[in-house]
Structure 1
Amino acid sequence: MKKIVIIDYGLGNLRSVRKGLEHAGANVVISSDPEEIMSADGVILPGVGAFKDAMKNIKQMLDTINEYVDSGKPMLGICLGQQILMSRSEEGGHSTGLGLIKGEVLRFPHTDLKVPHMGWNSISIDQDHPLFKDIPDDTYVYFVHSFYVDTGKGNTLASCEYGKKFAASVVNDAGNVIGTQFHPEKSGDTGLKMLRNFVAMC
């Protein structure tokens, strides 16, 4: 059974992510301990809240996260967890992110659409990746966010339209660091399939 560590840095919907991963057949550990993280087959970086707070809380884990990523094992950032993978965010006065994927986090522009973008929306799969194995194009997933990721075409796995086109899922150049702006653990059978795919990657 694959060991998946959910990194606990004080911001995240840990219980629902854990439940989803357990349904996907993983042995799940919630921890901030470097040894637990390094021994994992896969790591989840969850997150609900503000970018600046997330970076402040995760600061003491930066060396461990970088060492884990360099090992080539998979990491999945969810919602705010995807956003902090990026280089920077305009939230909180242009805060610096983990820089694992090139790009920035921007606030949705003022339109007639409500912000936060909350609820079900369809995604377009832009490139093949094991995370989206057997996931149909234009499938619906669940979002809750006021900021979106702007990254290069090569780092966009899937995109979504909400007033503008944005990256619904991202990947680093090596292919082992992935992010989803949406919540797989809240996206029904489709999201559960993605979590199974992630566990299979590990």
Structure 2
Amino acid sequence: MTTLRYNVNQSGVAKVVTQVKTVVGATTFQGRSATQISVAETVQQSGASDILFAGNHYLSVGTNAVRLLGTASTFRVNGSDVTQTIGLTTALSDLDFSLVPGVPTSELTTATASFLPSSTAGTTFSVASTLQFAGYETVTVPAGIFTDACKFVQIIDSGVATTVTRWIAQTSGVLVRATRDGETQELIAATVNGTALAASAKQRTKTR
């Protein structure tokens, strides 16, 4: 189990986001083998009620790459729970450590979004993705200094193009920083299987 806390600044609005991720294990998603990751998230903002989120990511996990098959997310709307499921006809690369630095890879797939308990038919749309490994950078966040973080830049276009830049800690695979459309996300603290990631990161910095 991984517990992550982030400072998030979205267009000048400060939030604290806490995520708890648990590897559920092997399963099937829309007829395909997948690894299921459950995600519970709490968003705290001064002067506003906490926002709760629960969902699952369905991934194809290889030796050097992680590909996304789909997601299922539950939200509370007007006092009732609504589950949104998004399935991809072809899995998209989420992280790929086999990429040559600076050489992007492009993919195109079709996504279908459906909602329960609504009986409305699913909405289908195209998704184009370009993923690039941009090399290694040292990243300073509230959790500490992470040397040689893997930097990935991804452009996702499902009608409107969005650029997401992520810095991933090498040893743990934890997201330590991300930027997206004026939003910045920085790691405050992390616990991975009972080990405090922030403490080990700071210790490595002191000994260099």
TM-score by length of 2: 0.28
Higher helix proportion = 1
Point out the structure with max Rg over C-alpha.
Answer: 2
